[in-house]
């Protein structure tokens, strides 16, 4: 008889999983416990390389992992149990995937031998997540777990970054994994991994279009921030004299106090003078942006005479929403580096100065136009006055995580981000409320040196209220600003602007400062603009969690920067 080869089965699958996550550079996993997760939690508790952050809601765990990934550039990881745990992780997985953010969501599950028998919390997790992310897999053999996890990191971080999902049945987590299979590929723990190089000849043609155009404009999206290409973009704007507009997700692609920054454009947070500038362009360079309906005002910012160049890591978005003169598939950072080299010294200084002067005249007129709004002494506080005070007090290392609704258009339009980079984060893909509060927790673990501010309305705060306990338990020194106007203000304003009946959008008044104090959080209630500045200053210098409950005029009673409503 021949001697049989002995395979050493060193680790339980749950232990192998945690070890591999740590080897990929994962320092934090956000999640909620459950019966199916007991072996996984034993593995977390037995090591010190990964901190498990317990949340009060799986949605919050997925939002934390999403924002963690955006701020750190590392793959975010969240986890939850079977059944409702999978259902509640789904919103953040979908948001991260459509926003091109690398995230791995892990759900434990009922044992394989109990599937198909109406077992409590049994759910077809793969069927649920397949349409929501880049890839979903169920681990049905313990020895395959390491290979599947390596595949998950590759898929999340490579090409167009996105979310992946893994289902781990309880019995698989108890089984053993061969030693030789437990290895990682840490280069896929950051994103974008292996960025594709663009065609040099196509970029030469782009450069020629820029040199021939009389008034080019750049439209920058979130892809610029994911690629960390703000230095290269700023250099192109300066040397070629090209104004830069951004989508909401692209806010921060260039400093918004820069002479060549236009600011956010589009139907949510754009303003009319910025749209006029884009419409006057004879060439628009769309960089890392899908040119979606919101950013382009239902595709009305360009006409048939405008030449469009689109550069994107995703070939599927090029020419999807508008006809392009030229498309370039490749990493935005690499593309801009090459363009800067090609254009160096070829653009006349007089042209650059002329365009800079044109932009400054528009900006001066706009500042004069809104000056009366930002000094408004009305009670309750107006959104414009809030943003004016808020903008003047924010330290340079601030990161704002905002819910959709009232915070998004006002911060997009009126807060001029002084430093480039991802300093404003908003869930633009699916518009989920309740994102900002858990978001600051994810951002804190990505970079604890940042000054973190969540801005949300009471609709969103109500959905995430339990995470005030998480914030306090973890002693995270974030500022939570609640815009309190007793309604789902965005929807109610839309009803009013379109002449519909005001229905199903109003709340009773809640003093959220008192609610926050119940969680042990320092909090203040503000109604009068005379006390707003001092309260903001106190909160921004406080070294523990601080909630400000600001009673504010609803969107339907002011003129918000939402162009379809006349703003």
Q: Name the nearest CA neighbour of 45 among 56, 66, 29, 68.
A: 29
Contacts of 516 by beta carbon, 8 Å cutoff, 6+ apart: 468, 480, 522, 523, 547, 549
DSSP 162-222: -EEEEEEEHHHHHSEEEGGG----GGGGBSSBSPPPPPHHHHHHHHHHHHH-SSEEEEE-H
Instruction: Report how far residue 171's alpha carbon sits from residue 193's, in angstroms, rounded to the nearest whole number.
Output: 33
Question: What are the C-alpha distances in Å from 220 to residues 208, 337, 398, 417, 527?
Answer: 20, 15, 21, 15, 37
Quote the CA–CA distance of 289 and 332 in Å, as a whole number: 10
Quote the Cα angle for 74-80-82, to 5°. 140
Structure letter (DSSP) for residue 2: P
DSSP 328: E
What is the Cα–Cα distance from 225 to 564, expressed in whole angstroms? 28
Q: What pLDDT was estimated at residue 3?
A: 44
Segment (H or E) for 484? strand 479-484
* Kind plus residue range of the DSSP H or E element containing 15: helix 13-23
Q: Is the dihedral of CA 456, 458, 459, 462 positive or negative?
A: positive
CA–CA separation, 16 and 11 (whole Å): 6
Say if CB 12 and CB 178 are below 8 A apart: no
Instruction: Provide the pLDDT for residue 9.
Output: 57
DSSP state of 346: -
Closest of 301, 285, 477, 485 to residue 382, by C-alpha: 485
Q: pTM value?
A: 0.95
Per-residue tokens: 567:
């703003």
3-class secondary structure, 114 = helix
State whether the Cα torsion 543-544-549-552 is positive or negative: positive
pLDDT in tens, the chain (567 residues): 344 444 455 799 999 999 999 999 999 999 999 999 999 999 999 999 999 999 999 999 999 999 999 999 999 999 999 999 999 999 999 999 999 999 999 999 999 888 888 888 899 999 999 999 999 999 999 999 999 999 999 999 999 999 999 999 999 999 999 999 999 999 999 999 999 999 999 999 999 999 999 999 999 999 999 999 999 999 999 999 999 999 999 999 999 999 999 999 999 999 999 999 999 999 999 999 999 999 999 999 998 889 999 999 999 999 999 999 999 999 999 999 999 999 999 999 999 999 999 999 999 999 888 887 777 888 999 999 999 999 999 999 999 999 998 899 999 999 999 999 999 999 999 988 999 999 999 999 999 999 999 999 999 999 999 999 999 999 999 999 999 988 888 888 888 888 999 999 998 999 999 999 999 999 999 999 999 999 999 999 999 999 999 999 888 788 888 887 755
Contact residues for 455 (Cβ-Cβ < 8 A; gap 6+): 400, 401, 402, 403, 407, 411, 436, 481, 483
Are 160 and 194 in contact by the 8 Å Cβ rule? The answer is no
Domains and CATH numbers, the chain: 9-189 (3.40.50.970), 200-359 (3.40.50.1220), 375-565 (3.40.50.970)
Q: Which helix (H) or strand (E) holds 78?
A: strand 76-80
């Amino acid at each position: 008889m021949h001697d049989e080869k002995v395979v050493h089965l060193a680790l339980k699958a749950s232990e192998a999983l945690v070890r591999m996550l740590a080897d990929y550079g994962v320092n934090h996993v956000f999640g909620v416990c459950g019966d199916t997760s007991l072996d996984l939690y034993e593995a977390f508790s037995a090591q010190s390389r990964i901190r498990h952050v317990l949340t009060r809601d799986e949605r919050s765990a997925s939002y934390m992992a999403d924002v963690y990934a955006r701020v750190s550039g590392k793959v975010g990881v969240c986890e939850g149990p079977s059944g409702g745990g999978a259902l509640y992780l789904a919103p953040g997985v979908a948001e991260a995937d459509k926003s091109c953010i690398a995230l791995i969501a892990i759900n434990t599950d009922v044992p394989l031998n109990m599937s198909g028998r109406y077992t409590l919390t049994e759910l077809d997790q793969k069927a649920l997540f397949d349409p929501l992310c880049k890839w979903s897999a169920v681990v049905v053999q313990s020895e395959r777990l390491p290979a599947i996890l390596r595949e998950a990191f590759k898929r999340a971080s490579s090409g167009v970054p996105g979310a992946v999902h893994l289902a781990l049945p309880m019995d698989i987590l108890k089984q053993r994994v061969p030693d030789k299979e437990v290895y990682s590929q840490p280069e896929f723990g950051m994103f974008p991994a292996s960025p594709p190089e663009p065609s040099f000849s196509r970029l030469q043609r782009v450069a020629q279009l820029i040199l021939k155009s009389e008034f080019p404009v750049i439209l920058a999206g979130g892809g610029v921030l994911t690629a960390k290409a703000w230095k290269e973009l700023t250099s192109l704007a300066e040397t070629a004299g090209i104004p830069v507009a951004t989508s909401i997700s692209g806010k921060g692609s260039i400093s918004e106090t820069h002479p060549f920054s236009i600011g956010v454009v589009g139907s949510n947070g754009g303003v009319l003078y910025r749209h006029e500038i884009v419409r006057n362009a004879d060439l628009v360079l769309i960089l890392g942006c899908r040119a979606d309906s919101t950013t382009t005002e239902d595709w009305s910012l360009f006409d048939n005479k405008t030449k469009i160049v689109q550069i994107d890591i995703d070939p599927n978005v090029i020419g999807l929403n508008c006809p392009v003169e030229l498309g370039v598939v490749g990493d935005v950072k690499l593309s801009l580096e090459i363009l800067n080299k090609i254009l160096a010294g070829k653009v006349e200084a007089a042209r650059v100065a002329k365009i800079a002067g044109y932009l400054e005249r528009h900006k001066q007129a706009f500042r004069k136009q809104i000056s009366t709004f930002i000094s408004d002494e009305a009670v309750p506080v107006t959104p414009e006055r809030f943003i004016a005070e808020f903008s003047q007090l924010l330290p340079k290392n601030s990161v704002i995580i905002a819910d959709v609704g009232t915070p998004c258009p006002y911060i997009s339009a009126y807060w001029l981000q002084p430093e480039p980079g991802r300093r404003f984060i908003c869930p633009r893909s699916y518009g989920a409320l309740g994102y900002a509060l858990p978001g600051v927790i994810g951002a804190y673990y990505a970079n604890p040196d940042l000054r973190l501010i969540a801005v949300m309305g009471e609709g969103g705060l109500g959905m995430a209220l339990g995470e005030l306990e998480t914030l306090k338990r973890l002693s995270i020194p974030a500022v939570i600003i609640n815009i309190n106007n007793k309604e789902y203000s965005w929807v109610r304003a839309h009803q009013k602007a379109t002449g519909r009946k005001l229905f199903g959008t109003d709340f009773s008044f809640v003093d959220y400062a008192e609610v926050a104090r119940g969680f042990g959080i320092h909090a203040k209630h503000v109604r009068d603009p005379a006390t707003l500045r001092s309260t903001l200053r106190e909160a921004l210098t406080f070294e523990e969690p601080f909630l400000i409950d600001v009673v504010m005029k609803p969107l339907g009673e002011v003129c918000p920067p939402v162009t379809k409503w006349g703003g």
